[in-house]
Amino acid sequence: MDKWIADLGNGFYKNPILYTDYSDPDAIRVGDDYYMTASSFCNTPGLPILHSKDLVNWEIINYALENIPESRYEEPVHGCGVWAPAIRYHNGLFYIFFPMPDEGIYVITAKDPRNKWSEPVQIFKGAGWIDPCPLWDDDGRCYMVSAYAKSRIGFKSILRLTELSPDCTKIIDMGRDIFDGNVNDQVTIEGPKLYKRNGYYYIFAPAGGVKTGWQVVLRSKNIWGPYEYRNVMVQGDTDINGPHQGAWVDTVTGEDWFLHFQDVYAAGRIVHLQPMKWENDWPVIGEPHGEYGTPVKEYKKPDVGAVYPVSYIPASDNFDEKELSLQWQWNANHKNDWYKMTGSGIQLFAKESKVGAVCDIPNLLLQKWAFPEFSAVTEFDLKGMDDGGTAGMIHLGEKFGSVLIEKNNGLFSLAAIEGQQVFRGEIPTSSEKNTVIEENIKTERVYFKNTVKPIGKDENNVPLWNSELYYSLDGKEYTKAVSFTAKAGRWVGVKHGIYCTGSTGSVIVKYFKYN
């Protein structure tokens, strides 16, 4: 498998529409185009921009954030960085609000989401405010709903409303808390999205926790409340746990739909599409069961007024384009001199690493899992590699593994790494075990392979995957170097990719192919 296709080709689609870790998705319709963004944490470029014509077939078209606007992200700060964003369109301008839980809330804009976005403007400085979403009211005033991160501020489950300047460059009224989930059976309410319809203000928000919760909707005739609430989608007897936060969108034909994510542990937070109906000015999401719905696995495609061709997020890459393909991200804030597109491969320049574990190297070039089961192979040309250099393939989650080749005194050796990643300055720091497999090798190329297979569920019904890393000197016979049970990072699905470290030299990676 080298692509995930949700479009069944018969007028129906299957969930998930994206088997990719696009955590905390938000989306809008502008004309007959749909745009989606998602959390990107410490990876760059950040804030992916995805596009669709029919809500089922998506492609990635850009990133809104070149690098994260704080110097500490020159090295990976796993689980931190860019959290749940909101994308909106107002008076000819696209806006993305994004929180950084340790730093504050930022806003960026663009006239065309496919082109360069503005530099971030920090509208709130401080820790703990997360999940911002704006609404421009009928009188032109602008409001922002947000939530709180207990890990940063000491409490959670409360939503806050503030008033912004209409151009969203500053907060003009710090506002007040408008809903307390701790006393309303909505513990861990977060990820709010603010809308207005038929004279009601609506806040769509998940509650109950990422893996065990539900979708709740609040409504009020006054934006400041008080708000009544209703659970509008629950897991029920389906296997779609959560189901967690997302976005309400409509079609030009008047249908309503809801995009949300499901947390599938190691594979990350994958994206689903649910039908939505209105009953007495309350939404019901998914398969109706009275006042609430349950997630669907297959459904008739949205009526968007036309039929569009199948599209998908690329996974395999021959590195033969002038620019780096958009499925790739770096492990931290990046620099353009880390690589060069040669036309017949990507040249990775060796960079000195200041960290002790391979999981914390900034210039890891990574992509998300794109399928529930896969095997990915890659080929390294080593002719430009200098003594002291290291290059390899990595599988990166809270547990990580790498198979790599090192050069010393003109000869190569192969090694395997297994380790444990830590987050946000925790002690001890990330650690790893390095095992030499073969030494004194003369070669000009090496091949690596990463195979991932589902292996059932544990006693807590958590899905498990086994990850194996291999090497080969001829591209035919592969030797297993690492095998372990994959484990997601904190709020982040597993990624895998390639890297090159050292003081000088480079390698050329010819391809990264799935089957």
Positions marked active-site: 24, 190
Distances 310 to 77, 135, 231, 256 between C-alpha atoms, Å: 36, 33, 34, 21
Are 326 and 297 spatial neighbours (Cβ–Cβ below 8 Å)?
no
- Bridge partner residues of 100 (DSSP): 104
Nearest-CA neighbor of 382 among 342, 358, 347, 416?
347
Q: Reduced to 3 states, what is the DSSP secondary structure of residue 259? A: strand
Pairing of strands 228-233, 246-250: unpaired
CB hemisphere CA count around 323 (13 angstroms): 6
**Interatomic CA distance for residues 370 and 383, integer angstroms:** 31
Distances 300 to 53, 59, 295 between C-alpha atoms, Å: 15, 20, 13
Provide the 10 A C-beta neighbour count for residue 71. Answer: 8
Q: What is the DSSP letter of 81?
A: S
Distances 472 to 107, 359, 379, 394 between C-alpha atoms, Å: 47, 23, 9, 15
DSSP string for residues in 13-24: EES-SB-S---S
